[in-house]
């Protein structure tokens, strides 16, 4: 047998049978073809992404009051803020504000 490297990058075997080479070659190709899924979680999530993935979202959503009342508070507060926005940006209020700023600018110059 000749020595060297085969097309897969694995060294050729020099011993009698090719069973060792075939096993190594099969494992090498199997690892390159497809990554195996992670079978268990890390004991401690060191990276920020791992911390986000392992965070118990369902527990917090079902057991905290913040998530329960968020949409209620949003529904109650949006009409109030809309009313304030409409009053603050009305043409009469804009004219009054512009006049007030014009008087302040005239006093300082």
pLDDT one-digit tens code per residue, 71-96: 999 999 999 999 999 999 999 999 99
pLDDT one-digit tens code per residue, 39-67: 676 788 889 998 999 999 999 999 999 98
Q: Do residues 32 and 49 both lie within one domain?
A: no
What's the confidence (pLDDT) of residue 88? 94
Q: Do residues 54 and 88 both lie within one domain?
A: yes
Q: Do residues 67 and 100 both lie within one domain?
A: yes
Q: Do residues 17 and 56 both lie within one domain?
A: no
What's the confidence (pLDDT) of residue 33? 60
Q: Which domain holds residue 30?
A: 1-36
Q: Do residues 31 and 51 both lie within one domain?
A: no
Residue with tokens 């109030």: 80
Q: Do residues 32 and 58 both lie within one domain?
A: no
């Amino acid at each position: 047998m000749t020595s060297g490297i085969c097309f897969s990058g694995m060294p050729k075997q020099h011993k009698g049978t090719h069973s060792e080479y075939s096993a190594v070659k099969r494992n090498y190709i199997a690892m390159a073809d497809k990554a195996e899924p992670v079978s268990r979680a890390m004991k401690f999530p060191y990276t920020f992404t791992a911390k986000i993935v392992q965070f118990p979202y369902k527990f917090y959503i079902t057991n905290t009051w913040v998530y329960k009342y968020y949409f209620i508070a949003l529904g109650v507060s949006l009409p109030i803020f809309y009313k304030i926005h409409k009053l603050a940006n009305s043409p009469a209020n804009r004219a009054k504000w512009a006049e007030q700023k014009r008087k302040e600018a005239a006093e300082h110059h």
